[in-house]
Amino acid sequence: MDNRINDLTKNVKIEEITRKLNEYLRILKLARRPSREEFFRVSKIAGAAMALIGVIGYLIYVLMVVLPKGI
């Protein structure tokens, strides 16, 4: 058991972990809260995209399931 733990700790270096954490912190520092207008614009675009995908999925369903039964 101890040998496995030692093997794992040899593969993970503190410098690598610190470097990754610093990268994540840098990205978080650059992030900002969107304005109300920007949030609503992105929400509308995402909602329209989901509705479009839903319509396409429904049309595929109709073509694959409903239409062959009617013929």
The per-residue pLDDT string of the chain (71 residues; one tens digit each, 9 = 90 and over) reads 556 656 556 666 778 888 889 999 999 999 889 999 999 999 999 999 999 999 999 999 989 988 787 66
* Calpha distance 64→31 (Å, rounded): 45
**Rounded Cα distance, 56 and 49, in Å:** 11
Confidence at residue 70, expressed as pLDDT on a 0 to 100 scale? 66
The pLDDT, as a whole number, for residue 18 is: 87
pLDDT of 58 reads 95
Cα–Cα distance measured from residue 60 to residue 55, given in angstroms and rounded to the nearest whole number = 9
pLDDT of residue 11: 64
pLDDT of residue 67: 77
How far is 52 from 59, CA to CA, in rounded Å? 11
